[in-house]
Structure 1
């Protein structure tokens, strides 16, 4: 039967509307990402000579001098002995820096000497014992690229590879390796130069107290020189992802991750858009496959700038937050079982989320919550996060097993670490609000017998810090035992001692 003119017009309008919807669904994300790119074209900030900052971009501090250590071991050791003697004679404090990704002045002693350890990055693999001998200034990226050609990989490390190994030991970082304690568990031993220039070996059997203090000791006990790290085989892994309700996260984590011996990595990501705020979480995990892993050099690289723009496009944008969630979840569904090598997964640079706007900065928090309290903690987060005008960019969930090594340990039982990333404007008002928010988040953490991570902004008072770390007073007393003249110092120590 022939269509009437009205029917034909109706069908035409339906096609027109459908075409418009399709065009908009494609054009809007493209325009949003293009706008994000344009908005970040601001002049780069530079640090004046005689000053230093850290990843917070809020700790610009005048220092006596910054010293790059020598690359060769004997030359470097002699250089450090002379510098420590000079510092003692001039009554100067000494701080130790790598990639400076801490955010509370942990690598900065005001008007003191800052040691840049990055040049000291020698490496040698003991393949028989699976031990990597490495200079403390090497980055994880350096180590991963070195090990990749030998079929090996890092056992435990944090999520980005452009941090220094010595720096990561000093903050006792943790990663998203399944059923893994913090980095401390993979450290066999290290050599340490004390304030008097003496070099000692530290391990679980040799100078064990100093070993425990230096790991997570924020450079307050000496200079880490050479490190012996456990390594593992590089393998091929397949990616999987499921979307859950937060109340089901622990049970599904047990089923899909812990009960599966093939899983090596896992993490969760909470939905942070106003729509379904903290009501959905993805559980992402990587399962070992029998295929041979690709070498890093031959692996295809994704468009890193596009990934960065998708992330940066979520700043101060509800549309951007929804777009990022939808894109990530769509990709998770249409590319199931995608293959990666272990080293590919570990070798990601923080430039993937880099903020190029000098008017704002990205700040991290992390809270460690006992497994049984995770659901309650997420429930109590909602009103606190909704009440702040600080822009929340991300919450990642990572499993952390108990730490038996570090003195200032934060994982004293099985916990989930919730890593928050916020975008903060560089204003006094936003700094004050961040301080208020940090304390509110720690209050609920303490309510559930949790702890928090110390390498970030110094917004927690001395007394409340000791509620999370009751061993802090003993830690600072032992600091004076090993460094009685308090030569090694930084803003963290000056604030909390």
Structure 2
């Protein structure tokens, strides 16, 4: 285990570069035993980090012992027949894909980008573009977690279920997830189709054409800023046609120069958003390519990374509303974004089934997710502006019986947090039982648990 010592200059930051946090020490374990010893013997705060793609300090807190899980990334066991795999929590989804692809298997549920660690994804209870899917907890058979006293326990929907449903989507507050057993599925061939339609017609289109179509694997609809009147729906259906893209997984050595140039145009040029809608994407979506499911599930976040994040940075937010509230929410969202002149790059509409019981569930019913990708300045005035309109969006989602996603910048007031997550007190009570000295901490827990 690599120990960097008690140097307070050690800084943990996230992909936005907006949240540098000084910690006391960073360890990079490679075995479960090392994590157990470190947690048991450390009397101060402990924080846990993986790929650091959360965007609001959810992986660190000042003066903590920070456990960097990225070297803890082995495959423990695998069964092609059972379609199951057990992994150490620091493994990336890409590494799992590389292992299971030769067996014609695929991950059941994950986020769009494959760079994230499994433990981090479970801690925020991710979702993706999967139709018939939803929160990643639906694809988890069992986890093993190290508690504050150094003990390791197994948890599942039937064993230690309170810990299972608290730790998944619990943002590292109950302990260190060290192992996960995941359900797998077949690596089907999928064919892409797309269609541009008015946003006011999207909900009915989804209900009539997507929701009950068992052939649809991936689906999302991108809302075009700044008018927010049209969407392009993109769907991938199972097919028996021959693949037209030969790669099994996306090449991991690409530089993504065109992607980065396109993001620069859309975010900085006066006509950039018009060019995206009327020139770039009509060219991008020519044809109906056929590819492997694993190819479509292996995007690299490098395609989004700008040359610098010093003066401005790209950030995500996400809001969830029941599907029947779609037509109530999007006009509120559009008006808030226009009024505050938010530099929106894209808003992607996703779908998710109801959560099976995680304590901090963001999908308390079947929901639409609105994934907002935007650009902001890094000065304090810019941050203050973002806080203002973010709180407006949170109020809008709550007014539509919805909620907001917790892995992003921590702008919600205490009142908003508890309205959006009414079961938080149950998780806090469980934490007091199994972590009575408040060992596991990060900025999210510091904001609302204290």
1:239 aligns with one of 163, 187, 192: 192
More helix per residue? 1
Larger Rg: 1
| Cα deviation, residue 291, structure 1 | 3.9
Instruction: Compute the TM-score of the two structures, normalised by the length of structure 1.
Output: 0.85
Deviation track 1:261-306 (CA, whole Å, cap 9, x = no partner) reads 2111100000114xxx111001110011114665526989988321
Q: Structure 2: how far apart are the matches of 1:218 and 1:297?
A: 29
| Cα deviation, residue 464, structure 1 | 1.3
Check the 8 A contact 2:255/2:303 in 1, yes or no: no
2:49 aligns with one of 97, 102, 107: 97
CA RMSD, aligned part only? 1.8
Please give the residue correspondences for 1:465-476 in structure 2 after superposition, counting only pairs within 5 Å: 465-476=417-428
Q: Which residue of 1 aligns with 2:240?
A: 290
Say whether 1:385 aligns with 2:310. Answer: no
Q: Structure 2: how far apart are the matches of 1:299 and 1:464?
A: 42
1:78 aligns with one of 19, 23, 33: 33
Q: Secondary structure of 1:258's partner?
A: coil
Deviation track 1:365-387 (CA, whole Å, cap 9, x = no partner) reads 10001112212211122321112
Q: Structure 2: how far apart are the matches of 1:301 and 1:351?
A: 10
Q: Structure 2: how far apart are the matches of 1:298 and 1:435?
A: 36
Instruction: Compute the TM-score of the two structures, normalised by the length of structure 2.
Output: 0.93
Please give the residue correspondences for 1:403-442 in structure 2 after superposition, counting only pairs within 5 Å: 403-442=355-394
| Cα deviation, residue 310, structure 1 | 0.9
2:162 aligns with one of 209, 231, 241: 209
Please give the residue correspondences for 1:45-60 in structure 2 after superposition, counting only pairs within 5 Å: 49-60=9-20
Q: Structure 2: how far apart are the matches of 1:494 and 1:216?
A: 16
Report how many aligned residue pairs link the two structures.
Answer: 438
Runs of 4+ more than 3 Å apart: 291-295, 297-303
Check the 8 A contact 2:221/2:348 in 1, yes or no: yes
Q: Which residue of 2 aligns with 1:35?
A: none
Q: Which residue of 2 aligns with 1:459?
A: 411
Check the 8 A contact 2:359/2:424 in 1, yes or no: no
| Cα deviation, residue 55, structure 1 | 2.1
Q: Which residue of 2 aligns with 1:326?
A: 278
2:151 aligns with one of 198, 220, 223: 198
Q: Which residue of 2 aligns with 1:348?
A: 299
Q: Structure 1: how far apart are the matches of 2:195 and 2:276?
A: 16
Q: Structure 2: how far apart are the matches of 1:259 and 1:227?
A: 30
Q: Structure 1: how far apart are the matches of 2:363 and 2:212?
A: 21
Q: Structure 1: how far apart are the matches of 2:281 and 2:241?
A: 26
Q: Structure 1: how far apart are the matches of 2:332 and 2:441?
A: 37
Deviation track 1:140-187 (CA, whole Å, cap 9, x = no partner) reads 111111111111001000111101000000000011100212100000
2:228 aligns with one of 268, 278, 282: 278
1:117 aligns with one of 58, 62, 69: 69
Check the 8 A contact 1:390/1:430 in 2, yes or no: no
